[in-house]
Amino acid sequence: MKVLVVDDDEISSLILSENLRELGYEVTMAHDGEEGWDTFTSQEFPIVILDWMMPKLDGISLCKRIREKYTKAYTYIILLTGRTEREDRIKALESGADDFLIKPLDAGELRARLGVAARITESETALRTVRNMEIELGADIQRKLLFGAPPASVEGIHVDSISIPSKSVAGDFLDYYPYANGILDVLVGDVMGKGVPAAMVAAGIKSALEKSLLSMLSRSAGLPALEDVLQATSNRVVSELISLNTYATLCYARFYGAQRRLAYVNCGHPSLIRWDALKDECELLPPSTVPLGFLEDAKFPESEVELGIGDLICIYSDGISDIFGGPEELAEWLRPRASFPLREIQMEMDALTSEDQLKDDATFVVIRETGVAESANPVVWSEYGALQKARERIRVVAQGSYGLNADAAGELILAVQEAGSNAVRHARPGHKNLPFGYKVTNFVDSVRVELRYPGEAFQPGNIDMVQPDMATEGGLGLSIIARCVDEVVFGRDGEWNVVSLVKRKAVHN
C-alpha cells in the first residue's frame, strides 16, 4: 500500500520512512506542504501522514485541501504533532484528519494505527466501488429514459445534441417529440442541484410533462399549445417542487419546419441563441417566465419567431454557457461556426467539455431550419444534398417544361454548380454553407436561372478573358460559367447577391 509522508524535519521523516518500509509500505516523501500537495495530486495515496508544523503550507491547511479535492478512493490522513492539548486534537479532527500521532513516534503504536488505516481504506474502497457501480447503472438508466436521441428525419429541420453529466448522473433532461408535417417539439430542462437527487426530480418533471401532453393529444384533434402543456405540468408538480425546495429551468420549443417558424416557452432557462443565416448575426431570445416550481400561480406565455432558411437555434444548459462566461460569449463562439454542418459544431463543443472540466451538467442542442423546397421560387440551405435536389429540379424544369435539349440543360446545370461553389467560397470566407434561392424563368428563345445568396457582392469584370490556369483564384470556375451559358449578370438586390444565367434554346428550322 502506498503512503505519502510530508514532513520538513529530515531526520524525523527518514526514521518514519524506514519504519514504514519495514512494515511493507511503499513510501513517497515530500519536504513541505506545497510539495506534498503537488505530489498528492499527481498520484493516488490511500494513506497520507502529515507533520503539523511545516513551511509554505502547514499540516492542517494541507489536510483541508486534500479533503476538498474529489478523489475516486478514500484517503486516510494521519497528522503528526507534538501537541497534546484537547483543543489541538479537536482542531486536527475538524480539519479532516482521521487520526493523529504524538511525537516522538512509538513503533508499536505506529503499526497499530496503520493497521486501522488499512482496514478503513479497504472498507471505504469497497463501499465506493459498489456506490460507483450503482451510479453508473443510474447514469445508464438516465441516458435511456431522460435523454432522447435526435430524430433522424423531420421535414425542414436538422437536429443534433450532446449531453454530458458532471457527476455521472445529471440533473439535465432532454427529449424530442416529432409530429407530422415537419413539426418537432424539443424539451430541454435543468434541475437545481446535481447527482442522483437532481436526476430523480428531472425524471418526475419529464414524466409529468409527457402525461400532460398525452392527455391533451388524446382529447384534441390538433396539437395543444405549449403554454397549456406547461400549465398542466406545473399543476401536477409545483406543490411537490416547492415542498422539496427545488425547481427546474426548462425550455419547451416547437419547430414548424415547413412553415419556418419557432414557438417556445422559456421557464428561466438560459436565453436561446438564434443565428440569422441571411445577416450572419446572433441574437439572444430571453426567458419568458420563471422556473418551474418557483410560483404556484405562474403563467407560461408563448413566444414566436419567424425563421429563415439556414437559421440556427441553440438551446443549452448553463453548464455550457458557464464554460464561455455567459450566453453572449457563447453566441460569439457560435457565430463563426454556425454555418458548419451540425455534427462539426457538436464535435468542436465536445472537445471543450469533459466530466473532469465541468462544474455543472451540460446539454447543447442545435436545430437548423432547412426549409421545404416546394414553392415556385424556393430557398434551400446549401449543404450537398439540398443543392443536389435544387440542380435536379432546375434540370427537370429547364429541360422538361421549358424546352432546352439535354446538352443545353447539362451546360446550364454545370454553370449553376460553378456559380454556387464560387458563392460558398467567396461570399462569406470561413463559412461552409449559405442560404440559396433559385428561380427558373422561361422565355421564347431562352431559359434563365437566377441564383440568390447573401454575403459579399461579387463583380468579376470580363469573365470571357479569364484563363484556365487561374484555377487557384476561382478563374477556372468563371471560365466554365462563361463557356456554358450565353449571358451572365452579377448584381445585388437588398441583402441578396444575384447571379443571372441565361441559356438560349436551339433554333429549329
Q: What is the pLDDT of residue 142?
A: 62
Q: Quick check: 107 pLDDT over 80?
A: no
Residue 506 grid cell? 436551339
Beta strand 281-285 with 272-276 is antiparallel
pTM comes to 0.72
Kindly state the percentage of the chain with pLDDT values over 90: 39
| DSSP per position, 60-126 | HHHHHHHHHS--SS--EEEEEES---HHHHHHHHHTT-SEEEESSP-HHHHHHHHHHHHHHHHHHHH
H/E element, 291: none
For the cut 60, the answer to whether the pLDDT of residue 465 exceeds it is: no
CB-based contact 269:188 (threshold 8 Å): yes
How far is Cα 255 from Cα 239, in angstroms, rounded to an integer? Answer: 30
pLDDT at 329 > cutoff 90: yes
More confident residue, 95 or 29: 29
Cβ 361 vs Cβ 164: under 8 Å: yes
Complete DSSP assignment for 192-258: SS-HHHHHHHHHHHHHHHHHHHHHHHHH-SSPPPHHHHHHHHHHHHHHHHHHTT--EEEEEEEEETT
Compute the mean pLDDT over every residue in the chain, rounded to the nearest whole number: 85
- Asked if pLDDT for residue 75 goes beyond 50, the answer is yes
pLDDT tens-digit readout, 146-182:
678 888 888 889 999 988 766 566 688 999 999 988 8
Convert the pLDDT of each residue in 173-198 to its tens digit.
999 999 988 899 999 999 988 777 88
